[in-house]
Every structure is written in structure tokens, then in C-alpha cells.
Amino acid sequence: MTEQERILELRTMLHTHNHNYYVLNQPTISDQEFDMLMHELIDLEARHPEMADPNSPTQRVGSDLANEFETVRHSRPMLSLANTYNRQEVSEFYQRVLSGLHGEPFQICCELKFDGLSISLHYEQGRLVRALTRGDGVQGDDVTQNVRTIRSIPLQLPTGMDYPDEFEIRGEVLMPWTSFDRLNRQREEEGEQLFANPRNAASGTLKSKNSATVAQRGLDAYLYYLLGDNIPGDGHYENLQAARRWGFQVSRHMRLASTLDEVYEYIDYWDQHRSELPVATDGIVLKVNSLSQQRSLGMTAKSPRWAIAYKFQAEQAETILRQIVYQVGRTGAVTPVANMDPVQLAGTTVRRATLHNADFMQSLGLHVGDHVLVEKGGEIIPKIVGKKETSAPVGDAAEEGAFITRCPVCQTPLVRYEGEAAHYCPNENGCPPLILGRIEHFISRKAMNINSLGPETVDEYFRQGLIRDAADLYELTEAQLMKPTAGDQKGVRKILQSIEESKHVPFERVLFAIGIRFVGEIAAKTLARSYGSMDAVASASMDSLLQINGIGTVIAQSVISYFAEPRNQEFIERLRRHGLQMSLSEEQLSAQSDRLTGQAIVISGVFHHHSRDEYKTLIEQHGGRNVGSISQKTSFVLAGDNMGPAKLEKAGKLGVRIVTEEEFLAMIGD
């Protein structure tokens, strides 16, 4: 067997094992065996770049390059469903269907309504070619690159099955409770605002511009509607059973109902048992099962007449607000939290609820002593949704409902930045939560990647007075660290080695690591490539900064304010003395130009002189922007061998120029 044949064999094997593990929950090999196969495939693909395939199992990890989402028109509109909240409206829907079908017998397919983000997946010859969000129902965002990281979505269907050459399958991308809890614990440790519910978390994740982030957050997907010209049959339920055989994750809790009483039984059961599911649900979807009957019933302007969504009522409880406390996150955001009399809600005892921000508190007019209504947003995070008439005392106790004006930790006056809902403590160099937040940002993977240190260790070093800022890390000694770690010499040396290795981290990541407010990973890379050195960024004027594509007024002002602060200037100088990279390398500088400035470029095909990732880097080094999909805004397509036929056709329709590998290298002077 040749290495190329082994690549194809490994891909088939790993697709099957992914399906067994993530969809069927029936793994047939150990994690270690899976990892060995995956590493073998990674090594083989590295030796054979001509075999590059976006649907390879190795692409599940995503990319840390920024995505730009292209808006694409749906081949069939994605309409929303009419909502109902009581049995009477369900009965009225049932009678409308009966009347619309003139008494013809029909069945209702009862399905769980998953609380996530609607997605449309398009397959050709069994391969995933496009994934679109619902958008406005007429057009949605192309999120194919991010969707490829969701392991329960098949990238390549098994051969020999009866699926059509082309079809569309729709469903819901969601975040399981386990992934949601893990993500919020991580955000809490990092001082970031928590996601209110799994739906918000799933939506924010799927629209992330970094597909590596999507891959890490553990999204899932359930598919619930099959469309196409040659789908198996007339039954919606039966078609989804076929889709399950092809490899799609379809809920096993679907049921066919032949009477209204059977519909009610399904609703009543899941109203009681939905908390047992691994994902969030907010209701039931009822659909006429026959596709021909669906066509006969037709659509209104906004929704189909053959389907309706029954929404569960959120469980509420009444309690008394006893105290409002304020927490300072590690970004400086101040979050108000309500302490209440204990109350049972959705099977748990609730004592605390987030109050989000000052605007939220003001909208409710809360005072200590109020009788408040609490419900679990997204079934897990308690929130106050209203209050009842109360005999709350006036005077000092009543004033406790007003948002504080000073930081509860360091007493610095709070600030509220334009466009932000939260209040912040601006005392970055004196408020302990902010100091710790800046250090933890500095050591994070995408910044200095000091991977032997964690938040708990940083907290310990801070409490012992060993560090007050990130520059202190480079002054730590083995003798200092041996005392608090009870002689763990191996661990101490590993930490010190990781700190030393961080001195080789490239300049753009150092610029990101120092923690300029509003300067994220992409903005730091842009500034680094535009100015070349820390000194040049520090002395940049407002006009100069605003000339850079992607740098707006907020970021520009934040950069200027940061470098105007004497403490920050001293901090940078200390990092410089410790040997951190303060400018782009000679190699990076010599490779830069503005030849592609302002151009949006799509890469497609297999290349000979450089890998796809190397070409993406070259595009950025010469001022261009990598985009994933072809649109009217695309400047040209860098095309290698075996360019995708769909992209070639679209480029032709839109008149987008095709540039060969050799033409591109000549264009940038390589």
C-alpha cells in the first residue's frame, strides 16, 4: 500500500471512529489507539501536501487564523416557526391542519426543540461542502470552516449508502451542558463575563473568527430536516431515520402521533423529563409528517402552516432579596450579584443570582428587601426577572439597590467605556484581581505560552509577594520557588525553563501579551506588522494608527493611553532588559511589503512550492487578507491544482480573477 492509499484508508477509519464515539456513543477502539491513528495521518499528510483535503479528520482542530464570514443566499428559505405556549393553541393548530387537508388522515412528527443555533448543511457526493447559519432566513453566514470542527457532523459519508448526490440537511448547533459548565468555569477563573445559557454560548462560539476556539469548546449538533430533489421518501420521520443510517446525529426521541391526545402525551412527558437530557431544550416541535401534505398546506409569509413550536414555560419562584454584593473580574468588569433567601427552582436550591450590570438593575428598580421572581435562564443560571409589591424599608437599606461608584476591592472610582454595558475598575496596576488577570493573560497560550504556570500557581506567588506584575516572573529564582512548593524541584525547574523559553516568543505575541485594553490577538498582529517594533507602536500618533486597516478609534486611543502611562513604560523596559522580543525579526521584516494591501484573497487547491498555511502567512505579510469564501468583494483566488469545481464556477460567475501559484509568487516578488 502506498502512503497516499494509507492516507485515504486512515481518513475512512477515523471518520467511522468519530461517528461511533460522538454520534452513537459506542467507541470501538481506545482513545490511545485513536490518537495513534490520528498522529499517523497527520505525519503522512505533512509528507504529502498534494493530498490536502478540508474534510480530512485532521482538520477537526480548526485554525487560529481569523475567518471572514461570507453571506450566502439559501437555496430554500429557512423560515421560523410560529410559537405556542398552551394546549389550546396546540389544539387549534391540529384543527387547522385537519381542515387544510380536508379530513385526510395525517400523522404529526413530535420532536424536541433544541435550544441552539439553526444550521443548514449542504452535501455533494457525500462530502460536506457548505454550512450556513439561518441569518435572516433568506441568506446566512458561511461558517463551513467552523462547522468542520464539530465532531458529530460528518465530513464524509460512508460509501455505498443510498444518499442522493446532492442534498441539504438542517439542524441545530448547540453546546451540551458539560461543555457549557466547563466553559463558564474557565471564564470565571479568567475574570470574563459568563455566558447566560448554552444557546448564547453556542451562538457566540459558532460565529467566532477563530475556528481553533470553536474546536476547543465542544459544540454538538442534532439534525432534524432533510431536503433535496431525490431524498428517500415522502415521510419526514422516515427520511430522518435514513439520515441516521448515513451517519448523521438525529434525536432518538422523535415520535409519530396519530391523535391529538398522543401529541399531548409527548408534550407532558418531556415537560417533566427534559432536565435529564445532555443538552438544553426549550420546547417541542410538531410537524406534519408527510412531505406531500406539507406542500399542500403551504406557507404563510413568515412560517410554514404544517409545523408549530410549543414552548415550555420557564419555572419561576418567589424569594426575598437580602443583599447585593459586587465581584471584580480579572478584566476589571464589576458584576452585581443578588444574595437571596434560599428557594427551590428546577430541582436545585438557589441562593444567588446575577444582576448583570447597572442598566439591568435600574430596569428592575431593585432594593434590598424586595420580593423578587427568580427563574433559571437556560435552565441553569438563576436570574431575577421581576419583583412584586414589597414593604422594603426606605433610606439606607433602599439605597443599596443603586450601583456602586467605586471598586469594592481597591476603592478606585469606576469607569464605563463607550458602548460597554459593564462598569470597570481602571486601576490595572493596583487592584489585585486586575493584576492577577493581566499576569494570567500574559502567560496564556496565545500570548507568552508559559504553559507550566496556571492561575492557582500565579495566585500563590502573588499572595506570597513573589510577583506583582508579569515582569517579575523573569526575576524568579529556584531558591525562591522551592520554599512554597515544599521541595518540588522538578516542577520548579520546569516552570523556570518555560519562563526562559518564552523569551523567544515573537514580537506580535509579546504585544498581545502586555494587555493593552481592546488590543486582541488580531489587532496585535496587525500593529506589529504595521510598525515592526514596540518603540514604533509606542510612538505612533492617532492619525497614523487610524490609517491601518482594522484599527479604529477605540483601539487607537487605547494604544496611546497605554504607552503614555509611566508604569507601563517601566514595565516594557523591564521586559526588554529580560530579553523579550521587542521587534519583528530580520526575516519577518525582509518578507514584508504592501503589495497586497487591501486585497481579500481566497486560497483553493493543492500547491507545489509552499503549503496552504505558508501561503496564508505570505498573504498577511504582504498586507493581504485571507478569506474563506468567494464573494463580489474577493480580489482574486490563489488557485493550485484540483481547485474545487464549486469555487471555480462561482469565481467565473462573479468575474473573480484566478491567479496561479507562479503568478502569485511573482506578484509578491518571491
Q: Is 113 a catalytic residue?
A: yes
* Residues 193, 335 contacting (CB under 8 angstroms): yes
β strands within 358-483, DSSP E? 371-377, 381-388, 423-424
* Residues 342, 351 contacting (CB under 8 angstroms): yes
Joined together, the cell numbers standing for residue 8 give 485515504
Q: Which of 377, 354, 67 is nearest to 200 (CA)?
A: 377
Q: Tell me, rounded to whole angstroms, the distance of Cα 283 from its chain centroid.
A: 24
> What backbone phi and psi angles, to 5 degrees, belong to 239?
-65, -40
Give the C-alpha separation, 657 to 278, whole Å: 48
> In what side-by-side order are the strands of the sheet with 166-174?
127-133, 117-124, 166-174, 220-227
Given 113, 383, 616, 650, the catalytic residue: 113
Q: Which of 598, 590, 603, 604 is nearest to 624 (CA)?
A: 598
Strand pairing report for 333-345 and 423-424: antiparallel
- Complete DSSP assignment for 606-640: B-SSS-HHHHHHHHHHTT-EE-SS--TT--EEEE-
Q: Which of 433, 249, 254 is nearest to 333 (CA)?
A: 433
DSSP 8-state secondary structure symbol assigned to residue 64: S
Give the C-alpha separation, 310 to 493, whole Å: 59
C-alpha separations of 628 from 110, 210, 597 in Å = 37, 12, 18
Neighbours of 456 (CB within 10 A): 9
Give the C-alpha separation, 129 to 145, whole Å: 10
281 burial level (CB within 10 Å; 0-12, 13-18, 19+): buried
Joined together, the cell numbers standing for residue 93 give 393548530
C-alpha separations of 224 from 110, 172, 414, 670 in Å = 11, 8, 48, 50
Q: Identify the three-state secondary structure at position 600.
A: strand
Give the C-alpha separation, 157 to 247, whole Å: 7
The residues annotated as belonging to the active site are 113
